[in-house]
Amino acid sequence: MTPEELKAACLALNGAEETFPFGPETSVFKVGGKMFAISALHGEPPLRVSLKCDPELAVRLRAEHPAITGGWHLNKRHWNTVVLDGSVPQRLVDEMIEDSYDLIVAQLPRRQQLALDWPGVRGAERE
């Protein structure tokens, strides 16, 4: 995955924005003002991205993929850092980005979830 592809994958999610609260070298992707992905897109290779993750899944992913480790400078219980060196399947990386986004949106007020047209809020309405 290239830096451009990572940026596009993050920004393709409804309401996602790229910010630079830690300086111009670190892209922080947010939804509803909360972080769901962090990457130094133009840093030294290999490209890395930190993503929020369900704690149980985070541990399992780390055990299955050497390129996935506890979040660098983040709460390792809730964040993973993924080295995008090709060893983690692209589909899994895409799912991890979407899952990170979903974990954040699930914590937002219902009004914001509806404004984002988030599928999770529509599923909750049917229950």
State whether residue 49 is helix, strand or coil. Answer: strand
Instruction: Compute, in degrees rounded to 10, the torsion defined by CA atoms 18, 22, 24, 26.
Output: -60
pLDDT, position 11: 98
pLDDT, position 10: 98
What is the pTM for the complete model shown?
Answer: 0.91
pLDDT, position 122: 62
| pLDDT under 70: residue ranges of the chain | 122-127
Distance CA 102, CA 31 (A): 10
Total length of the chain: 127
pLDDT, position 123: 55
For residue 22, the Cα-to-chain-centroid distance in whole angstroms is: 17
pLDDT, position 126: 41
